[in-house]
Amino acid sequence: MKRKSMKSLIAVALVCAVLGLAACETAPDSSAVLDQARSAVAQAESDPNVTRYAPTELDRARKLLINAEGAAKEKSAKDPTAAHYAYLTTQVARIAQQRAQEQAATARMKDGETERQKILLTTRENETDRALAQAQSARADAQSARGDALQSQAESERMAAQLENLQASQTPRGIVLTLDDVLFDTGNAQLKPGARRSLDQIAAFLDENPERRVQVEGFTDSQGANDYNLDLSQSRADAVAVAIIQRGINAERVRALGYGEEFPVAGNADAGSRQLNRRVEIIVSNSDAAIPGRSAGAP
Q: Look up residue 45 and give its amino acid.
A: E
Q: Would you count residue 287 as binding another protein (CB under 8 A)?
A: no
> Rounded to 5 degrees, what angle do the CA atoms 170, 172, 175 make?
35
CB-wise, 118 or 196, nearer to another protein? 118
Q: 147-160 burial string, b = 16+ CB within 10 Å, else e?
A: eeeeeeeeeeeeee
Which one of the spans 40-48, 97-105, 182-190, 251-259 is the region binding another protein (CB under 8 A)? 97-105
| Selection from 70, 68, 87 nearest residue 26 by Cα | 87
Residue number, 28 or 80, with CB nearest to another protein: 80
Question: Closer CB to another protein, residue 99 or residue 255?
Answer: 99
Under rule CB under 8 A, residue 98 binds another protein:
yes
Non-local (6+) Cβ contacts of 238 within 8 A are 189, 216, 218, 256, 258
CB of 66 to another protein, least distance (A): 16
Q: Which is nearer to another protein, 131 or 298 (CB)?
A: 131
Q: Does 126 participate in binding another protein (rule CB under 8 A)?
A: yes
Strand partners, 184: 191
52 contacts another protein (rule: CB under 8 A): no
- Find the shortest distance in angstroms from Cβ 114 to another protein: 11
Q: Of 149, 148, 201, which Cα lies nearest the Cα of 175?
A: 201
- 115 touches another protein (CB under 8 A): yes
Taking the complex as a whole, the smallest distance from the CB of residue 154 to another protein amounts, in Å, to: 38
274 Cβ neighbours under 8 A, 6+ residues apart: 221, 222, 223, 266, 268
Strand partners, 218: 258, 280
Which of the stretches 36-44, 120-128, 140-148, 216-224 binds another protein when contact is defined by CB under 8 A? 120-128
Q: Please report how close the Cβ of residue 212 comes to another protein at its closest, in angstroms.
A: 47
**Does 95 engage in binding with another protein (CB under 8 A)?**
yes
Please tell me what DSSP assigns to residue 252. Answer: G
Give the nearest distance from C-beta 141 to another protein in angstroms: 18
Phi and psi of 168, rounded to 5°? -80, 145
Which region among 34-42, 112-120, 150-158, 169-177 touches another protein (by CB under 8 A)?
A: 112-120
CB atoms near residue 193 (< 10 Å):
7
Angle, helix 226-246 to helix 195-208, in steps of 10 degrees:
60
Per CB under 8 A, residues contacting another protein are 80, 84, 87-88, 91-92, 94-95, 98-99, 101-102, 105-106, 108-109, 112-113, 115-116, 119-120, 122-123, 126-127, 130
